[in-house]
């Protein structure tokens, strides 16, 4: 499942107010706290990623919501670091490719146990991002499609 609003450009995060972990550190914390994992997939050269940090992740309402509802992780898609996922150790680029990440920023959402939920490619401004965050964070994705949720929210 891919969520999107159409035509928008994409970006990646980097905000001091939010606590970003690597995926391997985020997963046990998410399981313990029964919170979904949001993984921000970025590159160091990505302008839209920097804009996502500046506009979206630094927004006080977004930061508060994410801090309450999620365990946050960042993954540099071009780093030589590695990730453990369901018993396999893979490089960051392999992990990103495995979830069909082809542009940056891209946000991956996972269940607290590490099972994949969905991918959201591209930059989203705060007024659009909040709906995606709440769709997953409030558990609406378990009860209805993204289209049903959008209609219900008037977006």
Domains contained in the chain, CATH given:
20-153 (3.40.30.10)
Q: Which of 84, 82, 69 is nearest to 18 (CA)?
A: 69
- Tens digits of residue pLDDT in 22-55: 999 999 999 999 999 999 999 999 999 999 999 9
Contact 56, 62 (CB under 8 A): yes
Q: How many CB atoms lie within 10 A of CB 7?
A: 6
Contact 56, 126 (CB under 8 A): yes
Per-residue pLDDT at 154: 86
Q: How many helices (H) and strands (E) does the chain have?
A: 6, 7
Q: What does pTM read for this prediction? A: 0.87
Q: Identify the weakest region by mean pLDDT among 13-22, 27-36, 93-102.
A: 13-22
Q: How many CB atoms lie within 10 A of CB 31?
A: 15
């Amino acid at each position: 499942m891919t969520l999107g609003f159409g035509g928008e450009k994409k970006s990646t995060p980097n905000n001091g107010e939010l606590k970003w972990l690597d995926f391997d550190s985020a997963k046990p914390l998410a399981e313990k706290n029964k919170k979904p994992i949001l993984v921000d997939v970025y590159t160091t050269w990505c302008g839209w990623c920097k804009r996502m940090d500046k506009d979206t992740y630094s927004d006080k309402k977004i930061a508060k919501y994410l801090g309450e509802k999620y365990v946050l992780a960042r993954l540099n898609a071009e780093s030589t670091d590695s990730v453990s996922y369901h018993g396999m150790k893979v490089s960051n680029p392999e992990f990103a490719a495995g979830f069909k990440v082809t542009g940056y920023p891209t946000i991956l959402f996972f269940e607290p146990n590490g099972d994949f939920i969905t991918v959201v490619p591209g930059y989203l401004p705060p007024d659009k991002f909040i709906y995606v965050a709440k769709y997953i964070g409030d558990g609406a994705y378990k009860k209805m499609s993204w289209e049903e949720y959008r209609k219900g929210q008037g977006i």
